[in-house]
Amino acid sequence: MNSINPLIQQLKKYGTLSSIAEMAIDQKTKIFVKKKNDHFLKQGQLLTSYFVVKKGVFRAYINRNEKEINVWFGEENQIFGAIMPMYANKPSPEYIQFLEDSEVYAIAVDDLEVLYELYPELNLIGRKIAEELCVILEDRITSLHTESALERYQSLMEQQPSLVQRINLGHIASFLRVTQETLSRIRKR
Amino acid sequence: MNSINPLIQQLKKYGTLSSIAEMAIDQKTKIFVKKKNDHFLKQGQLLTSYFVVKKGVFRAYINRNEKEINVWFGEENQIFGAIMPMYANKPSPEYIQFLEDSEVYAIAVDDLEVLYELYPELNLIGRKIAEELCVILEDRITSLHTESALERYQSLMEQQPSLVQRINLGHIASFLRVTQETLSRIRKR
DNA sequence: TGGATTTTTTGATGTAGATCAAAATCGTCA
DNA sequence: TGACGATTTTGATCTACATCAAAAAATCCA
């Protein structure tokens, strides 16, 4: 089977899927078309667990004392997991907003639960995705922990240069934990 | 089967294990007895992937411009994964040092790989452990991202009060990303 | 038990980056 | 095209926390 479902394509990077599983996942995949500035995950709305952006960019942010803090950004051809919503004791305080017109392929939490039970092979893929995410998060922690504002900006430029092109300074600044003003000054050396 | 292997006891919190799998894991479990200040994971030494401390506390730290930065702490009855070493492209720059005399139950990376293949049921457990870790790491990022030094200290006291008793101020300070001096001043209100 | 090492506290000063305010630039669309 | 709103830049000041230095307290162990 040769699906054009980009979510399945991403999943298959982590392990093999039987064609029955692939079909089942494909059936549960929902497509969303979003305009610039639209939200995806708002409290009370559909909670997705895995999703892939076929076209577009987004930011994930939280609210903290009246302010929005960008937690991460996402682009095409990456798989994202909204893992937090899966833990009942910790309702997701994370919002997702698209920064360009976007097209998203997603599976809902409840559907994923069922898929894990029906096709246990999926657990290997899920494990690898989560492990990979852990590595990214640990990096992020190290960066916030040990680097200066300038160094954090440089790290981002190295690791995800395309984001710096597509996303405005204010959002990047919030992600890096600096103010717009400071980032602006950093930028011109 | 009613194993007294604390590593297996922790694994079973996340899902069921057949008794064959349980026996196989038990056979691969290695026990280490460590003195205060001993290291566990030093570059070049045995890389473990999952481990449980039966008795003791430890810190995981990295080296960054001549300084040691504490990345996390661990106590009894928690399962830990050294996930980073599993990714070839990112050799673990993380060291583990025991801060009290400790007893550790661990499985080596290579053995775990084999176990995952032989007993695919383990993948579900591995997935849940990694997902749980993601939640913890995200929390950590949020804390570093949004909280002041005082707030970070308060969060730690809430979430892991026992650590604050067992671990000296210098190590706690490094974990919280403040200097000893600042933490000392914070402590007395 | 007492001296040495380690850990914590206290004090004086320095600085990266925040905050506040306003000007300059860019982008959009009537 | 021109004008309004959004984004970025510039400038002046403020502050949380770092750094450096040294004293005080706690811990270790011969």
SS (H, E, C) chain A: CCCCCHHHHHHCCCCCCCHHHHHHHHHHCEEEEECCCCECCCCCCCCEEEEEEEECCEEEEEEECCEEEEEEEECECCEEECCHHHCCCCCCCEEEEECCCEEEEEEEHHHHHHHHHHCCCHHHHHHHHHHHHHHHHHHHHHHHHHCCHHHHHHHHHHHCHHHHHHCCHHHHHHHHCCCHHHHHHHHCC
Contacts of A177 in chain B (CB under 8 A): 144-145
Of the pLDDT bands very low, low, confident and very high (cuts 50, 70, 90), residue A1 is low
Collect all residues from A whose CB is shorter than 8 A from any CB in B. Answer: 62, 64-65, 69, 71, 81, 83-84, 86-87, 90, 116, 120-121, 123-124, 126-127, 130-135, 137-138, 140-142, 144-146, 177
The pLDDT assigned to A112 comes to 93
Question: What CATH number was assigned to the domain covering residues A6-121?
Answer: 2.60.120.10
Of the pLDDT bands very low, low, confident and very high (cuts 50, 70, 90), residue A18 is very high
Of B134, B141, B146, Cβ closest to residue A64? B146
| A181 pLDDT higher than 90 | yes
Average pLDDT score over residue span A158-186: 96
Question: How close B92 gets to chain A, by Cα (Å)?
Answer: 10
Q: Average pLDDT over chain B, rounded to whole?
A: 89
pLDDT in tens, B95-127: 889 999 999 999 988 899 999 999 999 999 999
The pLDDT assigned to A2 comes to 58
pLDDT in tens, A126-149: 999 998 888 888 889 989 999 999
DSSP-derived 3-state class of residue B101:
coil
Q: pTM of this prediction? A: 0.92
The domain spans of chain B are 6-115
Of chain B, the percentage scoring pLDDT greater than 90 comes to: 66
Question: How close A57 gets to chain B, by Cα (Å)?
Answer: 21
| B6 pLDDT higher than 90 | yes
The pLDDT assigned to A11 comes to 96
Q: In a mutagenesis test of the B interface, which of A112, A136, A141, A147 is the best target, namely the one with the most B β-carbons within 10 Å?
A: A141
pLDDT in tens, A78-101: 999 876 554 544 555 788 899 999
The domain over range B6-115 is classified in CATH as 2.60.120.10: yes
The pLDDT assigned to A46 comes to 61
| B27 pLDDT higher than 90 | yes
Contact: B134, A135; criterion CB under 8 Å: no
Higher pLDDT, A110 or A183: A183
Of the pLDDT bands very low, low, confident and very high (cuts 50, 70, 90), residue A41 is low
The pLDDT assigned to B48 comes to 76
Give chain A's end-to-end CA distance (angstroms, integer): 51
Question: How close A137 gets to chain B, by Cα (Å)?
Answer: 6
pLDDT in tens, A66-76: 789 999 999 99
Q: Average pLDDT over chain A, rounded to whole?
A: 88
| B41 pLDDT higher than 80 | no
Half-sphere exposure of A156 (CA within 13 A, CB side): 26
The pLDDT assigned to A43 comes to 53
pLDDT in tens, B62-86: 888 778 999 999 999 999 987 655 4
The pLDDT assigned to A189 comes to 73
Of A86, A135, A146, Cβ closest to residue B131? A86
DSSP, res B47: P
Of B121, B123, B142, Cβ closest to residue A62? B142
The pLDDT assigned to B65 comes to 78
Nearest Cα residue to A137 out of B131, B76, B107: B131
Neighbours of B176 (CB within 10 A): 23
Tokens linked to A166:
């597509």
Residue A72 CA to D8 C1' — how many Å?
22
The pLDDT assigned to B43 comes to 53
